[in-house]
A and B are shown apart, each in its own frame.
Chain A
Amino acid sequence: MADTFQVLIDGHEAIAHEGETILDVLRRAQVETPTLCTHEHLTPAKACRACVVELKGSRALVASCERKAEPGMEVRTDSERVQNARRGVFELLLSQNDVSTAPALAAQAESVGADPGRYRGQRYEKGFFDDNQLYVRDYDKCILCYRCVEACGPDVQNTFALTVSGRGFDAGIAAGFGESLPDSACVFCGNCVAVCPTGALMDRREHSLRAEGRWDEERYDVVQTTCSYCGVGCQLELHVDRASNEIVKVTSPMDHSVTHGFLCVKGRYGYSFVEAGGD
């Protein structure tokens, strides 16, 4: 076939399809690759550098999430440079962020052999923002993966309420000009919350339950249904507490053909009527 070609991954031949990224090829070849910022429905931000690989002919390592595969590429993921860089990325993040609600990050850090105590120094003190009824922002947990900015912007919602502000270590996510969310362009679709990989953005309900020590995913059933608000037909996953029969969270499957995991404010947050009394 004209649109497939061969590349070399750690010395082994692998098939790549036209338009695929190196990461796509790695995943199909079942080469375990840590990733943080990349997301199946968002433009690669190539910001976290966890997925870097060595590419023959390239001086620096390249982000496999962004770089398109080309015929004859020779990629190494098992070299000392790659291992050292990936370990370094996680060690630097662990020296900066609160990762208490980011089990996936912590697991990946462990799998690359990151030493949490490698670097000491100033940690993030970017603050906790509780300025609206639907979700909270804990920026000490933010790894600046850009997912929320992209979901809020041209990749999904086209609302452009969120942006990156400041620079260097002081860079962070902000609603324009430091406004509170209710004063910003935010429409509270919660799609930023849906793609946040570290729990820096969290639905209010989940945050409250966690604060009370009552958040327990073991107790929740996921019930599939279709949103009843309009005719689009968004697939909803209602996370329901088995014991109290309360809805604690609403999401949508990332692989659903209608939503791709994204919802509007009504579908994601307008569920309290379900629990309203019958009389």
Chain B
Amino acid sequence: MHSPVLLRRQDAPARDLEAYIASGGLAGLKKAREIGPEETVRMVTDSGLVGRGGAGFPTGRKWESVRTAKDPERYFVLNADESEPGTFKDRQMIDVDPFLVLEGVLIACFATHATRAYIYVRGEYRREADLLQRCAAELGAAGYLDGLGPEGHALAIEVRHGGGAYICGEETALFRSIEGYRGEPMSKPPFPTVAGLFRKPTAINNVETIANVPDIMSRGAAWLRSLGTERSPGVKLYSVSGHVGRPGVYELPFGVPLRELLDLAGAQQDLQAILLGGAAGTFVFPQDFDMPLSYEGAQQRHATLGSGALIAFDHETNLWRVAERLGSFFAHESCGQCVPCRVGTRRQHEMLEALAEGDGRGSERDLLVRLSQVMTDASICGLGQTASTAVRSLIDAETKGLLAV
């Protein structure tokens, strides 16, 4: 039985600084300040930590580019705009251990010489935003932000609320939103570490990613590598929902078979399928339930862990109806900037509606695949590029005769 690391305060949340310190908090920050920014980044790199928001980019490499950037003005941004359907692990993370998240932010700012930290919280997460705001103020009042800012000043941490747009979780759209513009993605390159927020070098990390950092500092890089698999070190949070007996957030080391997570969450033995990785993820069928939950394990089965969202569906579920809901989601959340996504998500949804109603003309599947290629190849950002991933996996599964309804 895995004893939780990130969620270790789940049963006794530390929502004030005193309780956090009493239960071992801030040891990571202390360590970082002892060894300095360069060594701090080295430890994060050595730990093999990669981004938990979905893209899986090595955190240490991101930090190193910002740390060594020429421009003295640079930013750290915490991406707490958790909006992927079926994903609610960051909310839980903030709720049960807000100071662990903030300690990670302080270490990141220290390591990258950030001149200011922004925390961008999903608009609906009002309570979590307030909690982070209050906890940041507590850290400031206790002097823990002193000397972390530019020229030895106290670090400023600014909590920003999202306005209800999924696209603002995309990092470049998130920057535009903080800057006060319409949340539209920008092209990469230039990457955020070169020209991010206000076109300054910026390190941006997901909540779960940053929550790993304090323990990497206090327990060492080898500690993270002692968990999980060789290519996916550490633990992962999963948001499990749908046809399971005990929906919720689960923490497991990488490499545990999918079946085990389903059992933990009290899933029925004869599920039809799960949607893994959120709306931009793929459908996974029982034949692949032995899949090890790791980046490489998922990749081998042409799936993706994405944000760690898992939605279970029983045999009563019409998966085309599920696909139609996903199609509706993307059509609603497309920012409208580029043609393949703006028009493509609408056309995709219209075809999925016909298929879900069972009155498709028969040609939709071919056209959906064709459209999927256009959206995946030509859209500006990840939204349009992955808006048809789940649909593609469903069409593949149907061809193989895996659908129940």
* Residue in B332, B367, B371, B376 whose CB lies within 8 Å of A168: B332
Which residues of the partner chain B approach A156 to less than 8 Å between Cβ atoms? Answer: none
Cβ B339 vs Cβ A92 within 8 A: yes
In the bound complex, how far is the Cα of B331 from the Cα of A96, in angstroms?
A: 14
In the bound complex, how far is the Cα of B336 from the Cα of A166, in angstroms?
A: 8
Which residues of the partner chain B approach A169 to less than 8 Å between Cβ atoms? Answer: 331, 334, 336, 342-343, 345-346
Query: A60 with B378: in contact, given A47-B337, A47-B338, A122-B350 (CB under 8 Å)?
Result: yes
Cβ B340 vs Cβ A49 within 8 A: yes
User: Is B370 interfacial (CB 8 A cutoff)?
Assistant: yes
Which residues of the partner chain A approach B342 to less than 8 Å between Cβ atoms? Answer: 144, 168-169, 171
Query: A60 with B385: in contact, given A47-B337, A89-B339, A143-B339 (CB under 8 Å)?
Result: yes
User: Is B3 interfacial (CB 8 A cutoff)?
Assistant: no
Cβ A88 vs Cβ B371 within 8 A: yes
* Residue in A62, A67, A121, A170 whose CB lies within 8 Å of B336: A170
Q: Give the Cβ gap from B128 to chain A, nearest Cβ, in Å.
A: 24
Cβ A164 vs Cβ B378 within 8 A: no
In the bound complex, how far is the Cα of B338 from the Cα of A48, in angstroms?
A: 6
Interface residues of A (CB under 8 A from B): 46-50, 52, 60-63, 66-67, 81, 84-85, 88-89, 92-93, 95-96, 118-122, 143-144, 163-164, 166-171
In the bound complex, how far is the Cα of B337 from the Cα of A163, in angstroms?
A: 12
Query: A84 with B332: in contact, given A47-B339, A67-B187, A168-B342 (CB under 8 Å)?
Result: no
In the bound complex, how far is the Cα of B333 from the Cα of A166, in angstroms?
A: 11
Chain A residue nearest to B373 (CB atoms) is A84
In the bound complex, how far is the Cα of B385 from the Cα of A122, in angstroms?
A: 22
In the bound complex, how far is the Cα of B332 from the Cα of A180, in angstroms?
A: 26
Cβ A121 vs Cβ B337 within 8 A: no
Cβ A52 vs Cβ B377 within 8 A: yes
* Residue in A88, A163, A167 whose CB lies within 8 Å of B378: A88
Chain A residue nearest to B381 (CB atoms) is A60
Beyond the given pairs A47-B338, A167-B334, 20 more chain A to chain B contacts, judged by CB atoms under 8 angstroms and listed by A's residue number, are: A46-B187, A48-B339, A50-B339, A61-B377, A81-B373, A84-B373, A88-B371, A89-B374, A92-B343, A95-B347, A119-B371, A121-B347, A122-B346, A122-B350, A163-B182, A167-B333, A169-B345, A171-B335, A171-B336, A171-B337
* Main secondary structure on B side of the interface with A: helix
Cβ B378 vs Cβ A66 within 8 A: no
Cβ A167 vs Cβ B335 within 8 A: yes
Chain B residue nearest to A52 (CB atoms) is B378
Q: Give the Cβ gap from A177 to chain B, nearest Cβ, in Å.
A: 14
8 A Cβ contacts from B125-178 to A: 165, 167
Which residues of the partner chain A approach B344 to less than 8 Å between Cβ atoms? Answer: 88, 92
8 A Cβ contacts from B304-341 to A: 331-340
Query: A168 with B378: in contact, given A60-B385, A121-B350 (CB under 8 Å)?
Result: no
In the bound complex, how far is the Cα of B370 from the Cα of A164, in angstroms?
A: 29
In the bound complex, how far is the Cα of B347 from the Cα of A171, in angstroms?
A: 15
In the bound complex, how far is the Cα of B338 from the Cα of A120, in angstroms?
A: 19
Cβ A168 vs Cβ B346 within 8 A: yes
Which residues of the partner chain B approach A66 to less than 8 Å between Cβ atoms? Answer: 187
Q: Give the Cβ gap from A83 to chain B, nearest Cβ, in Å.
A: 11
In the bound complex, how far is the Cα of B284 from the Cα of A162, in angstroms?
A: 46
Which residues of the partner chain B approach A168 to less than 8 Å between Cβ atoms? Answer: 331-336, 342, 345-346
Number of A-B contacts (CB under 8 A): 113
In the bound complex, how far is the Cα of B350 from the Cα of A120, in angstroms?
A: 9
Query: A96 with B336: in contact, given A60-B377, A88-B374, A88-B378 (CB under 8 Å)?
Result: no
Cβ A49 vs Cβ B367 within 8 A: no
Cβ B339 vs Cβ A167 within 8 A: no
What are 20 A-B residue pairs whose CB atoms fall within 8 Å in the complex? Answer: A46-B380, A47-B337, A49-B338, A84-B370, A84-B374, A88-B373, A88-B378, A89-B374, A89-B378, A96-B343, A120-B350, A122-B346, A163-B182, A164-B337, A167-B165, A167-B333, A168-B331, A168-B334, A168-B335, A168-B342
Chain B residue nearest to A92 (CB atoms) is B343
Cβ B336 vs Cβ A46 within 8 A: no
Cβ A85 vs Cβ B380 within 8 A: no
User: Is B239 interfacial (CB 8 A cutoff)?
Assistant: no
Which residues of the partner chain B approach A166 to less than 8 Å between Cβ atoms? Answer: 336
Which residues of the partner chain A approach B340 to less than 8 Å between Cβ atoms? Answer: 49, 85, 88-89, 92
Cβ B373 vs Cβ A144 within 8 A: no
User: Is B379 interfacial (CB 8 A cutoff)?
Assistant: yes
In the bound complex, how far is the Cα of B367 from the Cα of A163, in angstroms?
A: 33
Q: Give the Cβ gap from A171 to chain B, nearest Cβ, in Å.
A: 3
Q: Give the Cβ gap from A107 to chain B, nearest Cβ, in Å.
A: 17
Cβ A164 vs Cβ B334 within 8 A: no
Which residues of the partner chain A approach B346 to less than 8 Å between Cβ atoms? Answer: 121-122, 168-169
8 A Cβ contacts from B347-405 to A: 347, 350, 367, 370-371, 373-374, 376-380, 385
Which residues of the partner chain A approach B377 to less than 8 Å between Cβ atoms? Answer: 52, 60-61, 81, 84-85
Which residues of the partner chain B approach A96 to less than 8 Å between Cβ atoms? Answer: 343
Which residues of the partner chain B approach A93 to less than 8 Å between Cβ atoms? Answer: 339, 343
Chain B residue nearest to A121 (CB atoms) is B350
In the bound complex, how far is the Cα of B78 from the Cα of A212, in angstroms?
A: 59
Q: Name, among B343, B345, B370, the residue most crowded by chain A CB atoms within 10 Å (CB to CB).
A: B343
Cβ B334 vs Cβ A49 within 8 A: no
Q: Give the Cβ gap from B181 to chain A, nearest Cβ, in Å.
A: 10
